[in-house]
Amino acid sequence: MAMTMTQTQTQATTAFDAELGKKRVKRYAPKLRTGCMVCRQRRIKCDETKPECRRCMIGNRPCHYSPTQRKKKYPPTPPLPPSSVNILPAPILARSPPSLPQFNGTSDVRDLISLMPMASLGGFVQRSPYDWAACMRSYSQRMNTYVFELPMRTGYHPVLDGAVKCVAAALKCRLTKGMETTPFGLETLQFYESALQTLQRALDDPVESLASHTLCATQLLFLFEALAQDIKNASIYHASGASRLIHHRGAERFETAFDKALLVAHAPVLIAECCGTATHCFFEAPSWQQVFEDCLDPNSGVPITDESVIRSIAIRCLAPGADVDATNIILNERDDVEKRAEVLANVSKCLDGIWNWLDRYGAYSFNPFHADGTPVTDILQGEDRLPGKRLDMIVLHDANILFLSRMAVGLGHPDAVTVERRARELAEGMVSGFTNEQVAAYNVRPNAAQAASVLLCLRVGKMFLQNSNTWMEFAARNDRLVAEGKPRELCEPDLLMSFLSPLGYSNPRDQKHKIQ
C-alpha cells in the first residue's frame, strides 16, 4: 500500500533525528510576572483579560489574579529638635540678567564701542577757559570700559536698549556732520525723548531703580547730553542725578565687575562735580573706599584693573571736602581751634597721599621723553589711554596738590615754607610751555581728549604762581612763630580769596561755588 506524503515526511524527520542522536524535549515558557495566577503556574502567555482570561475559559479552569500590591507607606520622619537646627543665612548675591547672557551684537552697540574714543572736541584754545561738556566727555572716553559688557546685556531691558540707541545716534551725528555747529537731527532727539521716558519709569520703580542696567542707562544719557552742546545744563543735572543714584544704591550693591566698572567710570565726574560745587564727596566713607580696594583684586573681574587709576580716584575724592573745610575755617570759623587742628590734619593727610601717588605712579602715567630720549612735544590722538601719555592725569594731581598746599599753609602748617616751596616748583614745571597761543603742560601739548582738563589745571597753576611771593612771606612768618614757640596764625581771608576768586570760588556760606 502506498505511503502518503505526510507519513513519508514523518519517517524522514525521525530518521534524521535518530541520525543526529537528539531527542525532542518539550520547552516551557519562561517564568512570567504578569497574567493570572493559573497561566503563570502553567507558564503560558496570558491575555490578561479580566475578570477571566480566555485561556482559562477554553480550558474550563478557575481564573484568579493576585491581589494588587500597594506601595508601602513609611511613617513620617519626626522633626529635629530646635537645638540641632543650624541653618546659615543665604549670602547676598548680586542680581543677574533674567536670562542667560547672549551676544546681541547690534549695530548700535558696535557704533557705541567704536565711535566713543573719537568723540572729542578740538580747538580748545579758542573756546572758553572751562567747558563742562568737553571735560566730562574727555573723562568718559577713557573710563568707558563698561560699554564692552553691553553686547551681552542689551536685549533684556528697555531702559538700557533705549539709552544705547540714543547715544549711538548722537555719536554718529557728531562724527559725520560736525562736532559743534550741527544740532542733532529729529530722529536722534526722538530717541533721546523715548530714552528719558523709559528711564523715568525705571527710576520710579523701587526695584528697577537699584538695578545695574538703570545706572548704566543714566550714565549713557549723561554722555549723550555732554555730546549735545545745546543742552549743556542738562548734562550737569544728569551728572548729579547719576551721582545720587550711585549713593542711593549704596556701596554694598557694587559687587559685580559690571557694577564696579560703572562706579569707576563715573567717579572722575563725581569728583569734578564736588570740586565745582565745593561739597564733600561721599566716596570718603570707609565703605566706598573698600569698594575701590576690591577693584584692585585680580579676581574681581573688573576690566580696568589699572592700579594707578583706582588709587588716583580713592585719594582724589578726599580733596574736595578737605578744601571746603579749610576754606570755611579761614573765612568763617577762625576761633575754633580744635576744628582747625582736625581740618589741618585731614588736609595734610590728603596732601601726603597725593604726593605719594605721584612718587609711585608719576613716571608710569606720564613720561616727557620718548624711548630714544627725545622730548615729547604732542600727545597724539588715542595715546591718552596709554601709560606714559596720561598728561591730564598728572596735571589733575598737580592741581590738587596746589589747592591743598594753599590750604595747609593758610591753616598754619608747622613746615609751611617747605610746603610752599615744593608746591611752587611743581607749578612752575606744570605751566612750562603754556601761553595764550597754545595749551601745553611740561612743554607737551595735550590731545583733544585731554585739553579741557589740562587747561583747567593750568589755570590753577597760573593763579598759584601769581601771588606766590605773598604766600611765601606768610609761610616764613608762621615758621618763625613755630621756632619761637608761639601759636601759628591763620592767613587773612583776603589772601585766600585772592587765590580762589579768579577760579570762580566764593565763601562757602554764599553757596555759589562753581568753576566758570
- Residue 90 CB coordination number (10 Å): 6
* Secondary structure (3-state) at 107: helix
Residue 460 lies in a domain: yes
Of 205, 240, 273, the domain-final residue: 273
Q: Is residue 280 part of a domain?
A: no
pLDDT tens digits for range 258-267: 888 888 888 8
Q: How far apart are the first and last CA of the chain?
A: 138
Of the ranges 77-86, 198-207, 308-317, which one carries the lowest mean pLDDT score? Answer: 77-86
3-class secondary-structure state, position 110: helix
**How far apart, in whole angstroms, are the C-alpha atoms of residue 137 and residue 124?**
13
The one-letter amino acid at 200: Q
For residue 17, tell me if it sits in a domain. no
DSSP conformation letters of 330-360:
HHT-TT-HHHHHHHHHHHHHHHHHHHHHHHH
Nearest to 144, CA basis, from 9, 320, 268: 268
pLDDT of residue 105: 46
pLDDT at position 127 is: 41
Q: Is residue 252 domain-shared with residue 355, that is, in the same domain?
A: no
What pLDDT sits at residue 509? 61
**117 backbone dihedrals φ, ψ, rounded to 5°:** -60, -20
| Residue with cell string 548700535 | 108
Which of 433, 432, 418, 423 is CA-nearest to residue 403?
423
Q: Rounded to whole angstroms, what are the CA distances from 114 to 57, 144, 310, 414, 499?
A: 86, 11, 24, 52, 42
The cell numbers describing 502, all together, are 579768579
- CA-to-CA distance for 300 and 92, rounded, in angstroms? 16
**Neighbouring-strand partners of residue 366:** 389
Q: Are residues 380 and 488 in the same domain?
A: yes
Spatial CA neighbour of 100 closest among 156, 150, 157: 156
3-class SS of residue 113: helix
C-alpha span between 434 and 464 (Å, rounded)? 14
User: Which pLDDT band, with edges at 50, 70 and 90, does 407 fall under?
Assistant: very high
Tell me the residue range of the domain where 404 lies.
319-516
Q: Are 219 and 199 in contact (CB under 8 A)?
A: no
pTM, whole model, 2 decimals? 0.71
Question: Nine-digit cell at 469?
Answer: 611771593
pLDDT at 143: 55
- Model pLDDT, residue 347: 92
Q: Are residues 509 and 399 in the same domain?
A: yes
Lowest-pLDDT range of 329-333, 401-405, 424-428: 329-333
Is 53 inside a domain boundary? no
For the chain, what's the residue count?
A: 516
| pLDDT given for residue 97 in this prediction | 52
397 located within any domain: yes
Q: Do 250 and 342 reside in the same domain of the chain? A: no
As a whole number of angstroms, the distance between CA 303 and CA 146 comes to 8
pLDDT for 62 beyond 60: yes
Residue 333 and residue 187 share a domain: no
Is residue 48 a part of any domain in this protein?
A: no
HSE-up (13 A, CA, CB side) for residue 183: 7
Please tell me which residue, 87 or 489, carries the higher pLDDT value: 489
* Phi, psi dihedrals of residue 163, rounded to the nearest 5°: -70, -40
- The answer to the question of residue 30 being in a domain is no
pLDDT at 48: 86
Paired with 445 in beta bridges are 378
In a shared domain, residues 324 and 228: no
- Residue 98 — very low, low, confident or very high, per pLDDT cuts 50/70/90? low
pLDDT for position 158:
87
Q: Which sign, positive or negative, has the C-alpha torsion 406, 408, 412, 414?
A: negative
Q: Indicate the SS3 state at residue 367.
A: coil
Q: What's the pLDDT score for residue 34?
A: 77
Q: What is the pLDDT of residue 96?
A: 55
Q: Cα(351)–Cα(427) distance, rounded to whole angstroms? A: 15
Encoded amino acid at 33, one letter: R
Question: Which of 202-206, 362-366, 433-437 bottoms out in mean pLDDT, i.e. has the lowest?
Answer: 433-437
Same domain, 334 and 269: no
H or E element at residue 322? helix 319-331
pLDDT band at 425 (very low <50, low <70, confident <90, very high): very high
Tell me the pLDDT tens digit for each residue of 329-360: 888 887 788 888 899 999 999 999 999 999 99
Domain end marker among 246, 273, 300: 273
Give the span between the Cα atoms of 296 and 260, in whole angstroms.
11
**What are the residues facing 444 on neighbouring strands?**
441
3-state secondary structure of 375: strand
Q: Are residues 103 and 196 in the same domain?
A: yes
Each residue of 156-174: pLDDT tens digit? 888 888 888 888 888 887 7
105-141 per-position pLDDT tens digit:
467 777 777 777 666 544 333 344 444 455 555 555 5
CB 291 within 8 A of CB 263: yes
- Tell me what pLDDT residue 95 has: 57
**Rounded (5°) CA angle 311-317-318:** 105
| pLDDT for the residue 10 | 54
The reply to whether 133 and 230 lie within a common domain is yes
Task: Work out how many domains the chain is built from and give that number.
Answer: 2
Mean of per-residue pLDDT scores for the chain: 78
Residue 261 exposed, middle or buried by CB count within 10 Å (0-12, 13-18, 19+): buried
Query: Three-state SS for 441?
Result: strand
- The verdict on 406 and 502 lying in the same domain is yes
Residue 363 shares a structural domain with residue 465: yes
Tell me which of 218, 251, 273 is where a domain ends: 273
- If you average pLDDT over residues 294-302, what whole number do you get? 71
Distances from the Cα of 12 to the Cα of 16, 69, 163, 435, angstroms: 6, 53, 96, 127
**Residue 244 one-letter amino acid:** R
Task: Report the DSSP beta bridge partners of residue 375.
Answer: 369
- Summarize pLDDT for 29-49 with one digit per residue, the tens: 566 677 888 888 888 888 888
Would you place residue 102 in the very low, low, confident or very high pLDDT band (cuts 50, 70, 90)?
A: very low
Residues 368 and 455 in one domain: yes
Residue 328 lies in a domain: yes
Mean pLDDT of 276-286: 88
CA distance 387 to 470: 38
The angle subtended at Cα 92 by Cα 87 and Cα 94, nearest 5°, is: 150
